[in-house]
Structure 1
Amino acid sequence: MATKDSSLPIARRSTWRDDCLELVCGIANAGGGRLILDADVDSRGVVKRKTNRIMKSIPSTVSQALDLTCAVELVLDGGQFCLEVVIPPAPEPLSYRGAFYFYQDGENRLMDGDALDRLLQPELEPDIKWEMRPVVQASLDDLNLGLVARFTGTSRDTDLTTARDEATAIEEDLRHAGLMTGVGTPTNAGILLLHDRPHQYIPGATVRIGFFGGRGGTPVFEDEICGSLIEQVHATVEALFDKYLPDPSPRNDPSSRNAPGFGMPPRDAVHEAILNAVAHKNYDSGTPVQVSVFTDRICIDNVGRPPRTWTASALLGRHTSRPNNPNLVAALRRLGVIDGWGNGIGSMRLQCIEAGAAEPVIELRDDETMVCFPLDTDSMLVSSIIDNGPLPSQRPARSEVPEVQVTARALAIQHNTSLTANDEKVLAMIDIDGRLTAPRIAKNLNISESTVRRSFRRLRELGLVERIGSDKSGFWQVR
């Protein structure tokens, strides 16, 4: 099961009842959290009919009653199967049947008096999150209508100057998503997502790319990518692979994956890293996301980092989503651009493994997050247009490994044995996705299926993994 953030509210009930909607309302008003319900599962790990019916009905019930999108999944909690209802933070105060609730210290409180006033009028509080601050110079008319239409599902040819009912509905939808205020002024998040040139209103709302060759200092050449947030991501990836990186086409043949010179990071992994950087950046800093290309690596650096209790090794493993800009991430999830489940790093790692490329290196600083993709030095030297001096003596070493691998090595030592490199690679892959099969892992690691199955057996004997369900339809659970 994914690592959970203990600071988020967690409520537990034996089963789903009508009063659970009050509980969901209170948790959403408290900033989001989880509701844990008992699950009825047979010895094979198969959900029984009643639990399956409840599991499927909860999202639609919550959506109809609270206009809130939640997710339900089957998880292991304390060794028992449970249903986990993941409740996002409410973009604005929610009420259920006219009453407002707030979940705090294990109690779902009915809000009234001063407490209700503070809940309904957050603008009276001195600390308004950056993404919710209004951009008073702009209005709905300044936004890109195509982007607005894509987000709200309205017609692209809607004339907002004459179709007032339609405009009002659009404003209401954007306000509910935290992209617009109640007086028709876009928020910072709305400008980032729906304006063609957000940097006109938000300093540093761009991506800078620089080619540094074999040394640091001043870049040999550089570009600044502007546009809406989604456009910045796509344009940055296109510029990187069209202008800054060598043509990988000679290496598209899978049979060459272990040949000298192979190792360019896959486009999808780089896209995910840049998307994470622009989505989770601290925009108060006024600093663009920086993409630095060297002869041996690509480094993607943004101001902003996960919670300070998290280490780089925890980030490399499975973890919950803790966005710095929750409304912006929720809007990107609604557009289908991001999944919002904290799977980005795992997705990057798996894509690199499957492409035969080195895994990304994560570095967390006081107020920055850096993701580095090691590159094939020889191919970059060939593509370099000028002599940039000697290469660094060695590539940056991974200073952190996933926590699951640290645990695995320690446990192996306790049993007076050791794990092979293949054992650790197999463990890393099933930690990312427990439903990966032996044939797929064998193909991606370029080893035999029997080697993978031996690793399965060794990892299970050490108590590092267990099989949930049948061999055919089950999955691996990292313990």
Structure 2
Amino acid sequence: MPETQNIEYKANWRDEYLKWICGFANASGGTIFIGKDDNGNVVGLEKAKKLLEDIPNKVRDVLGVLADVNLHETKNGNFIEIVVEAYPYPVNYKGQYHFRSGSTKQELKGTALDKFMLQKKGKKWDGVPIPNVSVKDLKPETFDFFKKRGIRSQRLAEDSLTDTNEQLVENLQLKENIYLKRAALLLFHPTPEKFVTGAYIKIGYFESDSDIRFG
């Protein structure tokens, strides 16, 4: 069986493979086999019994998580199976965040890391609250355009025209406590690029369930 999203093979153990365990923990979990080649064939593993004790301790001490480590003895040699559960919170390897994607391990950096951390906290990128911005800073004309297009497409009730901009923001769930969410700025701020590099306003509306138009 070839390597997959949830299966990794290593012929021998190296402490750097803790990064792979970190990657599985941050994704959907998985299993690492130590003592198998890239095709999943057993090649045997020296000092397997010692690794059976060492690996769980290193996983705990370096990553702060637990893994189920099992020793398998076969006629072709011994191999170790490391079963990693998916964790609901971010797991790091010496300050680095790794993630399993397909059959590869990737270190998360920049925007990808920001998105990952937000998702682990139950937030999405566009749902991040932004301080020091109020509804008064948003563009009234864009609100009016949004309302008219929403009513025309029957996705907003006609009485929405009388809603204040503050009410519309609340109805669209674009606010968290006293803060506007990033999505509100992307939709209605006159210069969203001040808050999100390369951003600009482009409002679309549906003429049908599958036909979208842009204003």
Compare the two structures and name the one with the higher strand fraction.
2
TM-score for both structures, normalised by structure 2? 0.47
Question: RCO higher in 1 or 2 (8 Å CA, sep ≥ 6)?
Answer: 2
